[in-house]
Amino acid sequence: MPMTLLNWKTHAELSKQRQIIERFLMLTATQLRPGMVIKFNNELYSIFKMEHRTPGNLRGFVQVKMRNLRSGSQIEHRFSSEDRVEKAMLDEHEMEYLYDDGEYFYFMNTENYEQMHFTRDLLGDAVNYLVPNLKVAVEFYEGKPIGVELPPTVDLTVVETEPGLKGATVSNVTKPAKLESGLVVQVPPFINQGEKIRVSTAEGTYQERA
């Protein structure tokens, strides 16, 4: 059957849409974050922990610890910083983090207000960035929650650090700071206890004062 002009246009539009979707699904390894679900070796994996490393003059890489969603087994893999990784197409629902009771972490669906809880094992390192009222995308596969996608940055309060130095400016000198979620990051010397700072969820590093 010959392709009419209308069919050709429809085909071209679908092809263009498919290309846009495919580009959207492919991420660089440096865009991975704890809780994200990816397709790797034709299997679905939930990112449990990641660390971006740039050793000296060598090319940077991303060391990832992830869990196979079918078997439950955990593996480690090293991606180069330029590697393209396929993000799994899953059902997503926006949820608001509420609190944890030491065992479970509770979330509320922002559309229907239903609450559900996740274990620390499912969330992985994402627990380091959870503060009440934080909005996240919870990913579902076959009706089951399998991962939490964090925003690129999260604002967290410093609960413990050495006193700030008067007149200190940004420099190569840093000090450890414990945040309200329990995460410890290196911060500039002028940051004080009680201040809010912006932290990268991909790198787990200080970005700026919030």
Query: Domains, the chain, ranges and CATH?
Result: 5-87 (2.30.30.30), 91-149 (2.40.50.140), 153-209 (2.40.50.140)
| Residue written as token pair 């495919």 | 22
Position 19 confidence tier, pLDDT thresholds 50, 70, 90: very low
Contact (Cβ atoms closer than 8 angstroms) between residue 57 and residue 96: no
Q: Is the pLDDT of residue 8 over 90?
A: no
Residue 21's H or E segment, with its range, is helix 5-25
Tens of pLDDT along 28-38?
Answer: 888 888 878 88
- Which pTM does this prediction carry? 0.65
Q: What is the mean pLDDT of residues 172-200?
A: 92
pLDDT at 50: 84
Of 161, 162, 159, 152, the C-alpha closest to 129 is 152
Alpha carbon 68 to chain centroid, angstroms: 17
Tens of pLDDT along 70-81?
Answer: 777 889 999 988
142 phi-psi bin (left φ>0, alpha ψ -120 to 50, beta other): left
Q: What is the mean pLDDT of residues 126-133?
A: 93
